[in-house]
């Protein structure tokens, strides 16, 4: 049985447990030892970080081969149009190659927590929100994708990875699940099927 922790990482928190520059890290929010992030989330991004004490589960979540969907709420500079969303869905050319097809849709401003510090406000420049789901995890990929179609990212929140989400988690809050890996999956490096999750009483 593996432990999986779902953390809603606040803005300007490093996705690691130590830092020699005095910045906030995961250690400020996760008290359990011997867990490690399954994938990364940028310092200036917010939202779901998954941590586990099981290397097999960590691999299944983070490996690009698994193509696990990651869903983001993205505030962009300007009123994004359907043409830009279509380009995001088909894939855009980045310096490290074209992106895989994605799912993108307009999103009304979500009911979420205020960010500190807030996004810069300019009265003469509107902003808009989209929901973007990708199946890869290149460095700062979402930000580069929206910039490539002409709408730079202002705020980025990872809402979900696979079936796990930050629903009912305030920034800095976490919950712990017990994951039962199928026996066959535990014997392979790639694994098959999806892990089943059960809440652990806290």
The reported pTM is 0.87
Sketch the domain layout of the chain as residue ranges. 1-66+166-202, 69-161
Q: What is the pLDDT of residue 69?
A: 97
Q: Which fold has domain 69-161?
A: Alpha-Beta Plaits (3.30.70)
Give backbone dihedrals phi and psi of 18, rounded to 5 degrees, phi first.
-135, 155
A 10 A CB-CB count for 200 gives 13
Q: Which fold has domain 1-66+166-202?
A: Alpha-Beta Plaits (3.30.70)
How many Cβ atoms sit within 10 Å of the Cβ of residue 128? 18
DSSP conformation class of 108? P
77: which strand partners? 127
Which residues of the chain fall short of a pLDDT of 50?
184-202
Q: How many CB atoms lie within 10 A of CB 164?
A: 18
Q: Annotated active-site positions, please?
A: 42
133 bridge partner residues: 71, 103
pLDDT recorded at residue 9: 98
């Amino acid at each position: 049985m593996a432990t999986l922790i779902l953390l809603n990482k606040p803005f300007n928190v490093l996705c690691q447990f130590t830092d020699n520059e005095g910045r906030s890290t995961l250690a400020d929010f996760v008290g359990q030892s011997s867990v490690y992030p399954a994938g990364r989330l940028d310092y200036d991004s917010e939202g779901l970080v998954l941590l586990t004490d099981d290397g097999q589960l960590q691999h299944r979540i983070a490996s690009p081969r698994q193509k696990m969907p990651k869903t983001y709420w993205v505030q962009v500079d300007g009123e994004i149009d359907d043409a830009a969303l279509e380009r995001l869905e088909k894939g855009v050319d980045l310096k490290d190659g074209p992106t895989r097809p994605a799912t993108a849709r307009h999103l009304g401003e979500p009911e979420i927590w205020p960010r500190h510090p807030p996004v810069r406000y300019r009265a003469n420049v509107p902003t808009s929100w989209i929901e973007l789901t990708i199946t890869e995890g290149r460095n700062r990929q979402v930000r580069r994708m929206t910039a490539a179609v002409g709408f730079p990212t202002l705020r980025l929140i990872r809402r979900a990875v696979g079936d796990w989400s930050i629903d009912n988690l305030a920034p800095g809050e976490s919950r712990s699940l017990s994951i039962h890996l199928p026996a066959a999956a535990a014997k392979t490096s790639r694994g098959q099927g999806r892990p089943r999750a059960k809440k652990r009483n806290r």
